[in-house]
Amino acid sequence: MPAEYLQAPPLILIKQETTMSTHTTTPRPSIPGTVVFDGEQARKGYALNKMCYSFNTAENRAAFQADETGYMQRYDLNAQQTQAIRERDVLGLLAAGGNIYYLAKFAGILKLDVQDLGALQTGMSKEAFKAKLRAAALP
């Protein structure tokens, strides 16, 4: 190594601590009939969404139907989520951090489809919601 490198002052690295905020200061958009699913909602609903994801397998759906309370405890759902599951309150599940795509798995157990969920979110009957979708699709 050349001598000029040996005489250079030592390099000092300073690690600067940074804090990353997990809360947004930007107001959430208002969409009537729904809850905006953002990072805060994702954290809030993690256990609920994880449980609903488990319903992808028939074995887990059967286990839930056999012992709902035990199954919810297995995923450590909070009181709000547990109450909404017991009451079959899909809008309450959205407010409790549920993601509509994962909740669709739970809705399937209830024999509901995505159009049922959309109707609930908009406060319409399923038939009115379907008619609105068809009207929006027409040129």
User: H/E/C letters for each residue in the chain?
Assistant: CCHHHHCCCCCCCCCCCCCCCCCCCCCCCCCCCCCCCCHHHHHHCHHHHHHHHHCCCHHHHHHHHHCHHHHHHHCCCCHHHHHHHHHCCHHHHHHCCCCHHHHHHHHHHCCCCHHHHHHHHHCCCHHHHHHHHHHHHCC
Whole-model pTM?
0.71
Q: Where are the domains of the chain?
A: 37-110
Tens of pLDDT, residues 79-126: 999 999 999 998 899 999 999 899 999 999 999 998 998 898 888 999
> What would the pLDDT profile of 33-86 be if each residue is shown by its tens digit?
668 888 999 999 999 999 999 999 999 999 999 999 999 999 999 999 999 999
Q: State whether CATH 1.10.700.10 applies to domain 37-110.
A: yes
